[in-house]
Structure 1
Amino acid sequence: MCGISGIIGTKANLTNITKMTDALYHRGNDNISHFISDGLALGHNRLSIIDLDASANQPYQKTGQPYTLVYNGEIYNYIELREELSELGHQFETSSDTEVLYEAFLEWGGDCLERLNGMFAFAIWNDETKNLFAARDRFGVKPFYYYQDKENFIFASEIKAIRKHVNVEVNKKVLANYMMFGSYGLPEETFYETIHQLPASHLLKFNQDAIKVMSWYNFVERVQKKRKELEGVKEHRVKHDYKQLLEESIALRFRADVPVGFTISGGVDSSLLLALVNQREDAKNIKGFTFYTDDERYDELPWVEKMVETTSTELHKVIFNASEANEAHDKLSKIQDEPYGGIPTLAYAKLFEEIAEQGIKVVLDGQGMDEAWAGYDYYQSDSSQTIQGQSNNSPFKASVLSEDLKAYAKKPEYPKPFGDELLDKQYRDLFYTKIPRALRFNDRISMASTTELREPFLDYRLVEYAFSLPKAMKIREGQGKYVLRQILSDYRKDVALAPKRPLQTPQREWLGEELSFMVEEAIENIEKSSFVDYFKIDEIRKEWQFYKQGSQESSFHLWQWISISELIDHEE
């Protein structure tokens, strides 16, 4: 739910914070409120999910307390926390998770974070000490960006809100690494030089112009402990325990005072989600949504329909055509603020538009299973790849870059805390590559349609459990997610044993044919802009000719050019 924003400093006034909440209108417009104090302005865009009453609006305060809270997300275990806090003497005026978070902070301070099971980014201001405390959830489902200069500290759920008050330049290192290695930046980086993001599982303290950022969740330590507990564990026990945890996670994420739906692909992850959702008593009232492009080489619709045959799900099929891509990209690039994942992301965005039209505000999806259960093909090789289904030829075209831009490039090096090749790759994907970028793409997609996306497979208990299992429980007989497939086999064996399909749309074909004009326009835009010094235009045109003549193993470099042309528009 929601969007948050704040200014501490000379720019803190109603006019400036209103510009920020206006920029975040799509994240929530059930209520838009502000709090102004001396040198402080806080804003909140509300998408009402739990406790729809106005008493739960934010910025949230309580009489006699110096704290003011702005919060984006959901604390799924808020009912249990409320009971615990009530026993400790806390009194509640609403039935919202917002008040539970507020009271939890009063009781435990920053230590409350370890008790939260949810997705969240929040900031709480102490008007007595003039301190700001902010935090982001374990895997970074909800965003938090910030900027600081000598006079102001500014934060928001999206970059565009900060840019209402800040002139920025492109981060050349992030741009170079994106072009050469496909990196979208390290956890604290953005594509803009002076705008930073609070990494997942980190907290931030701001006091008298000083910022302190630190980790609050020790994933490695928890996994090391869990690995010892799971040594020698039997397969039947894993199936039982993981399924039980997953059922609990799904139940928690159905806590809402508004309609809930879910997205479906033909993969193991969402198929298992579908199967378990249909065990619920209210299953017949829950709608499922999937997209397709009417291209049998890529569509997962046949697999989705196989799964739905065995359930009571009302399936909504949304077609995405090449003719829609250009207009959709123009809209979504402004929402994303930074380069994003191509035609599949556009198709997914259209799915959320349909979901919103159906009156559904909360959506579940299957994100996070591949990283926890070693589902990608490169987990079974000694490759350092981060792209599923990638050939031996690099999808990145360093030859099109100027030597000046190449000089900024530095191949990202990721921590290897486990000393185990598989676990270190999974750790990289969870905290540095796959999950951070997918969560950013998907948060913006869902919020663009003013809907809330929830990921039951990213419940930290599930991730820690699956991650800690012996390799044979994850990978066996050349397939990842082994035990997970065994669980799904109890429902649909043919779907459970199907190989993972890396491509979901005919992006390669469309960019070479129906959407070739988008590539041409991108090249022209780069050539006419200040970014031209970063590229060798003749080399770009040469690669483009190769592509049109049939060299189409990957279209990632074409999408990079399209993305960069939008970044130019945003910068200028």
Structure 2
Amino acid sequence: MCGITGIYAFNEVGRFNMINLSGATDKISSRGPDSKGMFTEYNVGLGHRRLSIIDTSSDGNQPMHDDSGRFTIIFNGEIYNYRELRAGLERLGVTFQSNSDTEVLLKLFIREKKDCLGKLNGFFSFAIFDKEENSLFIARDRIGIKPLLYYHDEDKLIFGSEMKSILAYGIEKEIDYTSLYQYLQFNYIIAPATILKGVKKLLPGHFMMIKGKQVQIEKYYQVAYNRNALNPNNLSYEQQKQQLIDKLEKSVKKRLVADVPLGAFLSGGIDSSVITALASRHVEKLNTFSIGYKDEPFFDETKYANLVAKKFDTNHTVFSLSNQDLYEHLFDILDYIDEPFADSSAIPVYILSKHTREIATVALSGDGADEMFSGYNKHSASLRVAKGGTAAQLVKGALPLWNILPKSRNNAVGNKIRQLQRFAIGMRLSNKERYWRWAQFTSESEAFNVLNKSSKEQLDQDDFKQKKLEILKYINGNGDINDVLYTDMHLVLTNDMLTKVDLMSMANSLEIRVPFLDHELVDFAFSLPQSSKINENMRKRILQDSFRDILPPELYNRPKHGFEIPLLKWFRSELRSLIEHDLLRDQFIQEQNIFDGEEIKKLKKKLFSSNPGDIHARIWGLIVFQWWWKKNMA
């Protein structure tokens, strides 16, 4: 696991920017604290920060060159099948100077060029320079576990693992108001866009070839999904379960290869418990890590994590946190985020990664299972809408009541009313619009209204509508949950969940591996029919049933308590001054000239009222943006 950055200059003006290569490489030092390396060749510069995982000797340092000196690679990620690939290359007469997966990747590319991507099992972003052709090849893994951003103008192409390395080259910074409009709705920005015009994200499963002044981007992979040909091998449910067990255990085993201490996150939920159960078959006294919440016993699930740890005899560590512990890390997180990203669950992920890094360098996680196997409330709600019935119609008809009743995430009754209101609104929408609304924190009209006149004029509504259509193109009219899950893979998983885990783990120099997102397992998951994943009584049905015999029975038939960061409490106490006298201060909003001052006043009034509803998520999104803006744009 590492950080990469580089530049390909098209002319002398572009070459001048190569003086920033060292600084850009330093900006991503937390991704690779073990060593720094750079390479320059007239119009090309490559920078690398290394977090040593496989072959921790200096033989694995980068940039790495082939024997002839023609090819040079910088690589971020892990290739889990590198040993098999190496053996195949050795049979062809290829020799190796190290035991690293980086060298295997380099020499596989030399022989097969872009076709090497189809043979890789892992997660990665990498760049390979061909000195003879003066070309640069850049690729990103199939699912988008590792990030890759780039900036392209008439003089140069710059790339990097994080926005902060791109900014270190001194590029022009201009807000993309379409991205800001999206951000205000979702609290994250949807790829390939970023918050800045000119900076883009290379999409998952894509590669880029740069030669001369030509920049070509191509797709090499897409998750296999055909809604009209599910379960093509006519597997029985029992056979499906056995295949899931086999494929997931194979995936976990591959992700246990490391030359450094390794462990697993263990929340006490089904997903992380399954990963722990399988990993413990291959690692004696597996290190496992959980977070407990001292001040929020309703959300504390360490009891269940402890049951799993005891059953599989893991070396278990619980980091018991108070709300003050969470608050104390808030500003470190805000400082690290280099593009507005306001999923508040990033806070416990950051702290868990920070504490885990004191013991291990690699940790397995259960991310991805919810998006593939139907784990969210909105999946159950979508199923209820599709099936209809009297109860659903009654909830829909009572929307005027839900609209006037007090709503809040801070108590059970207020939260239930909030959920009923969202369900009733969703029932009145088409399948596509319902998906979009349930994915949002803020409606399009609310997000639009919070922008001032100048910002609205710079917003490209046609561009926004086209991007929205592209995201929703997989949602069909028959309401199949697989359509929802497939869209989640492209929207929620890549732009929210994987971004969160990558940012917060890399801020602490911790590598996170995600067994559920092995591409062979992902393709299998999307061959399964809806009935295998969800019914009226159970979400993630096949995942729960497949491992029921080995997991503690207490994990089943209990409510899922997703932890709610006490944002509202902070906003009304510790952060009140920051909101009222700094980031959302009336005079600052006016001088900044992005947001509508009157709308911001309304939001602040609602925040401090007795009926805040979902306002805390909108306020948090504004705080994150304002902090980023003051740091990068003011």
Q: TM-score range by the shorter chain?
A: over 0.9
Q: Does 1:174 align with 2:216?
A: no
Where in structure 2 are the equivalents of 1:428-439 lying within 5 Å? 428-439=487-498
Q: CA deviation at 1:478?
A: 3.5
Q: CA deviation at 1:488?
A: 3.2
What is the alpha-carbon distance in structure 1 between the residues aligned to residue 442 and residue 502 of structure 2?
32
The residue aligned with 2:473 is 416
Which of the numbers 538, 553, 560 marks the counterpart of 2:621? Answer: 560
Q: CA deviation at 1:531?
A: 6.8
Q: Structure 1 residues 264 and 389 mapped into 2: Cα distance closer, same or farther (>3 Å)?
A: farther
The residue aligned with 1:541 is 601
Which of the numbers 76, 93, 101 marks the counterpart of 1:97? Answer: 101
What is the alpha-carbon distance in structure 2 between the residues aligned to residue 40 and residue 253 of structure 1?
33
Q: 1:397-442 CA distances to partner (integer Å, 9 max, x unpaired)?
A: 5543324434525352314347464222212211223333221121
Which of the numbers 161, 165, 187 marks the counterpart of 2:165? Answer: 161
2:262 touches 2:362 (CA, 8 Å); kept in 1? yes
Taking structure 1 as the reference length, the TM-score comes to 0.92
Alignment coverage as a number of residue pairs: 567
Which of the numbers 507, 516, 528 marks the counterpart of 1:457? Answer: 516
The residue aligned with 2:399 is none
The residue aligned with 1:277 is 279
Q: Structure 1 residues 514 and 343 mapped into 2: Cα distance closer, same or farther (>3 Å)?
A: farther
The residue aligned with 1:19 is 23
Q: 1:341-384 CA distances to partner (integer Å, 9 max, x unpaired)?
A: 344211210111111222x1111111100111121222231543
Taking structure 2 as the reference length, the TM-score comes to 0.84
Where in structure 2 are the equivalents of 1:173-252 lying within 5 Å? 173-179=178-184, 181-182=185-186, 184-219=188-223, 222-224=224-226, 227-230=229-232, 232-252=234-254
Q: Structure 1 residues 333 and 183 mapped into 2: Cα distance closer, same or farther (>3 Å)?
A: closer
Q: CA deviation at 1:329?
A: 2.8
Structure 2 unpaired stretches of 5+? 386-425, 427-433
What is the alpha-carbon distance in structure 2 between the residues aligned to residue 72 and residue 342 of structure 1?
24
Where in structure 2 are the equivalents of 1:1-20 lying within 5 Å? 1-9=1-9, 10-11=14-15, 15-20=19-24
Worse overlay, 56-65 or 367-376: 56-65
The residue aligned with 2:341 is 340
Aligned AA (1:426)? L
What is the alpha-carbon distance in structure 2 between the residues aligned to residue 397 and residue 176 of structure 1?
6
Q: Does 1:402 align with 2:459?
A: no
1:391 touches 1:553 (CA, 8 Å); kept in 2? no
Where in structure 2 are the equivalents of 1:255-274 lying within 5 Å? 255-274=257-276
Q: CA deviation at 1:46?
A: 0.6
Q: Structure 1 residues 517 and 264 mapped into 2: Cα distance closer, same or farther (>3 Å)?
A: farther
The residue aligned with 2:397 is none
The residue aligned with 2:91 is 87
Aligned AA (1:483)? I
Where in structure 2 are the equivalents of 1:334-373 lying within 5 Å? 334-358=335-359, 360-373=360-373
Aligned AA (2:246)? Q
What is the alpha-carbon distance in structure 1 between the residues aligned to residue 509 and residue 607 of structure 2?
38
1:415 touches 1:424 (CA, 8 Å); kept in 2? no
1:136 touches 1:201 (CA, 8 Å); kept in 2? yes
Which of the numbers 504, 511, 514 marks the counterpart of 1:445? Answer: 504
Q: Structure 1 residues 240 and 463 mapped into 2: Cα distance closer, same or farther (>3 Å)?
A: same
What is the alpha-carbon distance in structure 1 between the residues aligned to residue 278 and residue 509 of structure 2?
26
What is the alpha-carbon distance in structure 1 between the residues aligned to residue 525 and residue 444 of structure 2?
31
Worse overlay, 8-17 or 141-150: 8-17
1:519 touches 1:561 (CA, 8 Å); kept in 2? no
Q: Structure 1 residues 521 and 84 mapped into 2: Cα distance closer, same or farther (>3 Å)?
A: farther
The residue aligned with 2:301 is 300
The residue aligned with 1:524 is 584
Worse overlay, 58-67 or 541-550: 541-550
What is the alpha-carbon distance in structure 1 between the residues aligned to residue 441 and residue 154 of structure 2?
48
Q: CA deviation at 1:30?
A: 1.3
Which of the numbers 60, 74, 79 marks the counterpart of 2:64? Answer: 60
Structure 1 unpaired stretches of 5+? none
Q: CA deviation at 1:390?
A: 8.5
Worse overlay, 223-232 or 431-440: 223-232
SS at match of 2:357: helix
Q: CA deviation at 1:512?
A: 3.5
Which of the numbers 481, 490, 498 marks the counterpart of 2:540? Answer: 481
The residue aligned with 2:119 is 115
Q: Structure 1 residues 218 and 186 mapped into 2: Cα distance closer, same or farther (>3 Å)?
A: same
Q: CA deviation at 1:95?
A: 1.0
Aligned AA (1:259)? P
Q: CA deviation at 1:183?
A: 6.0
What is the alpha-carbon distance in structure 1 between the residues aligned to residue 591 and residue 371 of structure 2?
35
What is the alpha-carbon distance in structure 1 between the residues aligned to residue 298 and residue 601 of structure 2?
29
Which of the numbers 472, 478, 498 marks the counterpart of 2:531? Answer: 472
Aligned AA (1:99)? E
Q: 1:119-138 CA distances to partner (integer Å, 9 max, x unpaired)?
A: 00001111111111110001
Q: Does 1:571 align with 2:633?
A: yes
Q: Structure 1 residues 362 and 19 mapped into 2: Cα distance closer, same or farther (>3 Å)?
A: same
2:158 touches 2:166 (CA, 8 Å); kept in 1? yes
What is the alpha-carbon distance in structure 2 between the residues aligned to residue 340 and residue 522 of structure 1?
20
Q: Structure 1 residues 310 and 552 mapped into 2: Cα distance closer, same or farther (>3 Å)?
A: farther
The residue aligned with 2:376 is 376
Aligned AA (1:241)? Q
What is the alpha-carbon distance in structure 1 between the residues aligned to residue 561 and residue 227 of structure 2?
34
Percentage identity across paired residues of the two chains: 30
Q: CA deviation at 1:226?
A: 11
Q: 1:464-504 CA distances to partner (integer Å, 9 max, x unpaired)?
A: 11122011100023422001111232212331333433444
2:475 touches 2:484 (CA, 8 Å); kept in 1? no
1:138 touches 1:201 (CA, 8 Å); kept in 2? yes
What is the alpha-carbon distance in structure 2 between the residues aligned to residue 59 and residue 417 of structure 1?
40
The residue aligned with 2:402 is none
Q: Structure 1 residues 391 and 177 mapped into 2: Cα distance closer, same or farther (>3 Å)?
A: closer
